[in-house]
Structure 1
Amino acid sequence: MYRYTLLLLCTFLLAVAHGQPVDKRATPETKALFRNLMRLSENHTLFGHQHATEYGRGWAGDADRSDVKSVTGSHPAIIGVDLSGFSGHAADVVAKNKADLKKNVEDTYNRGGVTTIAWHFNNPVSAGGFYWKDSVSKPAVKYLIPGGAAHEQYKGILKGIADWANSTRGKDGKQVPMIFRPYHEFDGGWFWWGAPHCTREEFVSLWRFTVGYLRDSLGVHNLLYAFSPDNRFNTEAEFLDRYPGDEWVDMVGMDNYGDMGRDGYRLDVASRKLKIVSDYAQRKGKLAAFTETGLESIPNTNWWNDVLLKVMRADGKRLSYVLVWRNDRTSPTHYYAPVPGHPSVPDFMKFYNDPYTLFEKDLKGIYK
């Protein structure tokens, strides 16, 4: 009887330990976002679009506008933004970028939507921007981690991010919860933080320091932390190759364009990889997401249901959200969500009306 009672107690304690943000001091609204995303993922997935309310095809800076809203009447449930303008620019430019993005995330929160943050971080120790450029870029990770030559500089950059995150406030006076997804697609070589340019130990050190410094030293308690490689894995062990540990990650995800039509349609492969992500999340009490995908220009007019929704719904996955990439303002081809009149609009409306997908208008009290 004693052993049975002890087993029940241990099971209960494990259940309590799972399903909580890694920041034990997270704001009540951030904890509520985590719990509600977990709950909603049992039967739904939130739809997201990168830079949706900042600009779209043929426009920029319009109030309360997105290409998705122009088609459906609702903004995406998830709005993707980027911290790329927070460093590597003149001080006045950085200040304006921070102010503009602060308003954007506050507006999203006030409408009841959710913000996810990417970080196309310009190389802080060399030229080349955030991409890796041979003979130009330096492998910056080893310089940024504790003991590295640029570690103090990196702490200053993180201080700027912390001050900005802590300054965000909704109309209710609360800090805005956000999903922070730094150093994404780290398994490829196109970014300076990619696998060919740092060791596994260096990457893990960078991740742990970033989360720990923001959370424990700078007092940022309104972020959830998302880990998302590209699609270059086939097993859970490969997916976790550079994983920093469960105590440093709230959400696991995957970016995958190649299997979703860019390099051919390998839907069974895409679904299997996403299932690895979802299964790990369920087992460990983490959130899971399809953190980036899409088909540039959407030439397949049935892509939304025959490809994306099919992959998302297969095999009992539980996904918090799916995010498609941006709609460039001027490019005739670089866009990932439809605008009025696009041939994929009828299929997108079918996707929008499916009870499985949630858009901003469908969200009720996600921070409560």
Structure 2
Amino acid sequence: MILGLLYTFFWNTPPKNHLIDKKATAETINLFNNLKEISKAHTLFAHQHATEYGHGWKGDEDRSDVKSVVGTHPAMIGVDLSGLSGRASRIIQQNAYDLKKNVVNTYNRGGVTTVAWHFANPVSGGGFYWRDSISKPAVKYIIPGGEAHEKYKLILNEIGQWAKSLKGANGELVPVIFRPFHEFDGDWFWWGAAHCTPEEFKTLWKFTVSYLRDELGVHNFIYAFSPDNKFNTEEEYLVRYPGDEWVDMVGMDNYADVGRDGLNIERAVKKLKIVSDYAKKKNKLAAFTETGLESIPNEKWWTDVLLKIMKSEDLELCYVLVWRNDINSPTHYYAPYPGHISVPNFKEFYEDDFTLFEEDLKDIYNK
């Protein structure tokens, strides 16, 4: 009798919620807690746009270049909300449907989705990149009090509607990691450091979270904060940080130190340690939110560089994401495809107990 009561109590006890959304769904809370625990001994391997397209193909059902190489998809799939604004309404609706299908399929297979946002400038031309003489510093226009604030709310309405359309096989909301305004410490995006003040950026972040969460009732987002690698101290990392009550995950994008601008493993580890240590201190998740070496010319890069970095200094990083494999480009790819020179080494990376792929995830949305 007592054992039965204890079983009932623990089974029905809601999971402890460390998220900034106190109304987060049980699956979202469980994903956060499980990623936190996993990061103590493992990391999820993630690939941007992995199941949407790859090296020389697009739109094939249940396909990814990673699966073609090792027999399973990445544990985490990166997608993008770029198609949910700046286009005709019918195109936005089709993009939203296609993106929803991708996310739901990943969830139903047991995988995880991280969502970036290459947000086309809402007040000028130039797309998401900053283009001199074309782009406008849109942040000051779209925050509260700005002349395009209402337009920004309409864009967020589309995102909120999409978020609430994500339903799993049993009708539950699918959790995703939402990573808006990434690499904000660089100048290449219109939300970058040269185009808005720290206070304007913090205001944009806070409004975006509060509007989605509190006004639109989106409760299946884990909010991720990810600058590029332009910091060397915790103080520098936090210059544009909106506060612990507005962020669930801290991360970093870093291509420069892993081979693009010359290899510097020590520097990459130092910066990731700042991120990881902050997450440990504040009970946040930490991740290596973007990285990779274009074309992967170093055939041992997976174990000699990436895995070496991830295993250093007791880092606790729940995932590492490499960028996309372009459909047409012969050189723009960041994960191996069948026949690539790094395939044997990638298989070593895959077989290492430290790395997790989709087949390794067991009930990541449950307690």
TM range (shorter): over 0.9
2:279: which partner in 1? 281
* Structure 1 residue 31 corresponds to structure 2 residue 25: no
1:11-65 deviations in whole A, cap 9, x for unaligned?
xxxxxxx971110000000000000000100100000000000000111011000
Distance across 1 between alignment mates of 2:18 and 2:61: 35
Q: 1:351 matched to which residue of 2? A: 349
Q: Deviations over 1:175-232 (max 9, x none)?
A: 1100000000000000000000000000000000000000000000000000000000
* Mapped partners of 2:62, 2:204: distance in 1: 37
Measure, in 1, the Cα distance between the counterparts of 2:29 and 2:17. 10
Point out 4+ residue stretches in structure 1 off by more than 2 angstroms.
Answer: none
3-state SS of the aligned residue for 2:45?
strand
Q: Work out the CA distance in 1 between the residues paired with 2:52 and 2:19.
A: 29
Counterpart residue number, 1:3? none
- Counting matched residue pairs gives 352
Give the SS at the match of 1:167. Answer: coil
| TM-align CA RMSD | 1.0
Residue in 2 that maps onto 1:154: 152
CA contact (8 A) 2:48 2:324 kept: yes
1:83 maps onto 2:81 in alignment: yes
* Residue number in structure 2 paired with 1:323: 321
Aligned residue type for 1:172: N
2:288 alignment counterpart: 290
Structure-2 residue corresponding to 1:13: none
CA–CA distance in structure 1, aligned partners of residues 59 and 109 of structure 2: 17
Instruction: Tell me the residue number matched to 1:64.
Output: 62
Match for residue 309 of structure 1?
Answer: 307
- How far the C-alpha of 1:251 sits from its partner, in A, is 0.2
- Structure 1: 5+ residue runs without aligned partners? 1-17
Of 344, 358, 365 in structure 2, the residue corresponding to residue 360 of structure 1 is 358
Contact in 2 for aligned 1:106/1:169 (Cα 8 Å): yes
Task: Please state whether the residue corresponding to 1:315 is helix, strand or coil.
Answer: coil
Q: Counterparts of 1:232-271 in structure 2 under 5 Å?
A: 232-271=230-269
> 1:237 corresponds to which letter in structure 2?
E
Secondary structure of the structure 2 residue equivalent to 1:314: coil
Correspondences of 1:34-113 after superposition (within 5 Å): 34-113=32-111
Counterpart of 1:134 (choices 108, 111, 132) is 132
Partners in 2 of 1:127 and 1:74 — Cα distance?
40
Matched with 2:198 is 200
Question: Aligned AA for 1:334?
Answer: H
Gaps of 5+ in 2: 1-15
**SS of residue paired to 2:212:** helix
Q: Distance in 1 between matches of 2:133 and 2:338?
A: 44
Secondary structure in structure 1 of the residue aligned to 2:128: coil
SS of the residue 1:42 aligns to:
coil
Cα shift at 1:93: 1.0
2:166 is aligned to 168
> C-alpha offsets along residues 75-130 of structure 1, whole Å, 9 cap, x if unaligned?
00010000000000111111110000000000000000000000000000000000
SS in 2 for 1:234: coil
**1:211 equivalent in alignment to 2:212:** no
C-alpha distance in 2, partners of 1:313/1:241? 27
Q: Residue 19 of structure 1 contacts residue 285 of structure 1 at CA under 8 Å; is this kept in 2?
A: no
Provide the TM-score with structure 1 as the length reference: 0.95
CA contact (8 A) 2:17 2:29 kept: no
Take 1:88 and 1:159, find their aligned partners in 2: how far apart are those partners?
14
Q: How far apart, CA to CA, are the structure 2 residues paired with 1:275 and 1:172? A: 39
Give the conservation status (yes or no) of the 8 Å contact 1:47–1:78.
Answer: yes
Please list the CA deviations of residues 338-357 of structure 1 after superposition, one character each: whole Å capped at 9, or x if unmatched: 00111100100000000000
**Aligned residue for 2:183?**
185
| Structure 2 letter corresponding to 1:300 | N
Distance in 1 (CA, whole Å) between partners of 2:103 and 2:17 is: 25
Report the Cα distance in structure 2 between the residues aligned to 1:126 and 1:311, rounded to whole angstroms.
40
**Identity across matched positions, percent:** 70
SS of 2:78's partner is strand
